[in-house]
Amino acid sequence: MARYKLRRQFDVSENSYGGNQMWHSKPRLVKTGCGPVALTNIFAYHLGLKLTQAEMTRLQEEITEHLHGPVVMPLQFILGAKKLFKVYGFAIATETRTCFLHRRESYANILALIRHSITLDRPVALLTGPNRLFRQTVYMPEFKNHWVLITDLDSDPRTGGNHVGVSSWGEHFRVDLDQLAGSKMFISVVSL
């Protein structure tokens, strides 16, 4: 089993595992605020912040302004991240990969970027697309059109299984990445 973990504990928010879109004050942001939360988590981690719920919520809402609405594409996430970090005096490099319909080569590229980024102490934003139609079962149907933050990866070379730890809704989830990719139209990852 190969384990990839961030060098520091992911404790950017007191009493929760990262931010939570449910904390937003506006109903629209409660429904569509997962992208800003993922970026807030990355920003807080890179700056070594540990915020209260009120501080995290304020930062999430500030970051929402940099992203200009619901974040539906990796490029929109990247452009908003660059603006945000620039305001705070930082330039950032970004990498992104997308896998449609669980294609083997593009999925391998996603895994390589996750491994590389986490090894460099960079949590990875993950966008999951719509659930695939006509599947008998959909893995994690609540993770459709949704941003989460990957904080660790376990890969088993014997079985080829890949499991990630993610921050979503202020909680830690253990996700079978292979099943997730197989049940969504696409998945995308962004490393900052």
Between CA 20 and CA 169 the distance in angstroms is 4
Nearest to 190 by CA among 161, 149, 154: 149
Per-residue pLDDT in tens (0 to 9) along the chain, 192 residues: 899 999 999 999 999 999 999 998 889 889 999 999 999 999 999 999 999 999 999 999 999 998 987 899 999 999 999 999 999 999 999 999 999 988 999 999 999 999 999 999 999 999 999 999 877 788 999 999 999 999 999 999 788 899 999 999 999 999 999 999 999 999 999 999
Rounded to two decimals, what is the model's pTM? 0.95
Query: Residue 8: helix, strand or coil by DSSP?
Result: coil
What is the DSSP secondary structure assignment for residue 89, as one 8-state letter? T
Q: What's residue 178's pLDDT?
A: 95
By DSSP bridging, strand 2-5 and strand 95-100 are unpaired
Between CA 84 and CA 36 the distance in angstroms is 11
